Structure 1
Amino acid sequence: MGPKGRTSTYPIGIVDWDSKMIHLLLVETVKEMWDVLVAAKESQGTMRVLTLRRRFFWSPMEEGAEMVAHIAVLSQVQSNICLMGEKVNDDEFLAVLTTSLPESWDMFVQAYFGATNGVTMDPSGGMKKITSQELATVLTDKDRHW
């Protein structure tokens, strides 16, 4: 038999680091072991992405919390989602950031978007959409002076 067909006479321990559980499986070939590992990691990956997306969309900022800390949490979750091979575009981040703010920020956000009409000037004098980074900077500055 070739390397993929080697027979194992011992149980092979597969460690699931996410849940800290050890599963013992009896497999007869290296290929079977690989297939089990791939299947386990794919299902964990899908669940991890769903968990991260849920956390991303359901991370409201508590009243009185620091804006910098809130934006850092959202940015970290966004980074983790991207590390899992999924994309979070800037419009999505902008929407999540805006809707995650407490009600006390509603008037400011409405005034800001109303005054800018959702666009800013770029360095060349043209118009461009407000980015999440620009909004984060404005919110952070406002939070420091509020």
Structure 2
Amino acid sequence: MASTTPAPTPVTVTTEESSSLRINKLEGASNWKTWKVLVQDWLNEKDLDTIITSICPVISTSPPVGQDAIDKWDKQNRKVIATLRRNLQETVLTHVIACTTAKEVWDRLSGLYEITDIIELVSIRRLYFSHRMDESTKIEDHLKQMQEWHDKMRSIGTNYATNFDKAITLPSSLPPSWDIFVQTLQSDLNGLSTVGADQASIANSIECKIIAEGQRRQQSSVSNAMYAEKGKFKGKSKNSSGGNKNSSLSQNTKQDGKCNYCKKEGHWEKECRKKKERKRTKRTRRRTLRKWHLQAKKMEDCQHMFLWRLRNMWEQTG
């Protein structure tokens, strides 16, 4: 049995004003986002959030700043620095060990790990907006992947992935076989450009319709497969019942001579099964190619129309 590594135990930080504050130590870019949120919550709760954005005040008369204000700031600054340092791994602590203010510590950590978020954001946005669902992929798996990318971008910044982006990107990510269905979403997409539109509700409506269509297609494919299997079984039973008669008949009616097509003995060219099968295959292939050509042209026209409408919508929304 493979051994499992136990999860690190959160560090408990005790303060004078509260019983305890549980914060996992900052390890680096891997847990920077969650660590930052927890620390900011603690700072806001204790009215210390300005300490990481301000420097030590200077005595002045306008505005009035006295020694009491400086002493208060210094006490709060030391408290925040101590809390931050206690919640850093040693490898991270080395980067801020020489900092003398909480603002220096915070700015140094942000400079080290916020840039990692931006690099990750560029990669995720490229995947999110260019991804195209494969025909063989289940719609539930596709939507799950798109939602994961959407949530990751919002965790970096809520303005990096909006409901408008979701409503536009989900239909665009569907494969060509969905082009006719995408046309049915036109009314929802048009609603995005309406003043005061509830874009979150529109995005959810589009997602629900896509899920319903995916389930309908999945049920239809299962029914078609069952019908084809049933027809195949019937054909086998009929062939097996008359198999002995046909085999005996073919043995009795075997012709003398050699086929000019397949070069085998026992039949002539006009009765050659191989020749007939090849002709049948060619006819089927030609019909299939014509059908594919017509479908491809139809889907191409639909896709051009959809992209044209999307482009107009983007221009109208600015």
Q: TM-score, with normalisation over the residues of structure 1?
A: 0.66
User: Any idea what SS the aligned residue of 1:83 has?
Assistant: helix
Q: How does 1:22-33 map to 2 (within 5 A)?
A: 29-31=98-100
Shift of 1:42: 2.0
How many Å separate the matches in 2 of 1:82 and 1:117? Answer: 23
The one-letter code sitting in structure 2 at the alignment partner of 1:76 is E
Per the alignment, residue 205 of structure 2 pairs with: 134
Is the contact between residue 60 and residue 101 of structure 1 (CA under 8 Å) also seen in structure 2?
yes
Aligned position for 1:6: none
What is the number of residues matched between the two proteins? 122
C-alpha separation in 2, matches of 1:91 and 1:26: 40
Higher strand proportion: 1
With over 3 angstroms needed to count, the CA separation of the structure-2 counterparts of 1:104 and 1:86, relative to structure 1, is same
Q: In the alignment, is residue 96 of structure 1 matched against residue 166 of structure 2?
A: no
Residue in 2 that maps onto 1:144: 215
Paired amino acid for 1:95: I
CA contact (8 A) 1:119 1:128 kept: no
Aligned residue in 2 for 1:82: 154
Alpha carbons of structure 1 residues 136 and 117: separation in structure 2 relative to 1, 3 Å? closer
* 1:27-64 deviation per Cα after TM superposition (whole angstroms, max 9, x unaligned): 77125983543211121121122222122112211112
Corresponding residue for residue 282 of structure 2: none
Amino acid at match of 1:67: I
For structure 2, which runs of at least 5 residues remain unmatched after alignment?
1-25, 31-90, 192-196, 218-318
**Comparing both structures, which one devotes a greater share of its residues to helix?**
2
Over alpha carbons, which structure has the higher Rg?
Answer: 2
**Could you tell me which residue of structure 1 aligns to residue 141 of structure 2?**
69
Over the residues paired in the alignment, what is the CA RMSD in angstroms? 3.2
Supply the distance in 1 between the matched residues of 2:206 and 2:95 (Cα, whole angstroms): 54
Counterpart check, 1:106 vs 2:179:
yes
Distance 1:145 1:37 in 2: 50
**Match for residue 131 of structure 2 among 52, 59, 62:** 59
1:28-47 correspondence runs (5 A): 29-31=98-100, 34=105, 35-47=107-119
Q: Percent identity among equivalent residues?
A: 17
Name 2:311's counterpart in structure 1: none
Q: Deviations over 1:72-127 (max 9, x none)?
A: 111111111111123222221111111111011011111x135x47468xxxxxx9
CA distance in 2 between counterparts of 1:119 and 1:63 reads 27
1:29 counterpart letter in structure 2: A
For 1:36 and 1:128, the matched residues in 2 are separated by 40
Distance 1:102 1:143 in 2: 12
Task: Identify if the C-alpha distance between structure 1 residues 61 and 93 changes in structure 2 by more than 3 Å, giving closer, same or farther.
Answer: same
Stretches of structure 1 lacking an aligned partner (at least 5 in a row): 1-13, 121-126
Quote the Cα distance in structure 2 between the aligned partners of 1:140 and 1:106. 15
Residues 31/81 of structure 1: CA separation in 2 closer, same or farther (3 Å cut): farther
User: Which shows bigger deviation, 49-58 or 98-107?
Assistant: 49-58
Match of 2:305 in 1: none
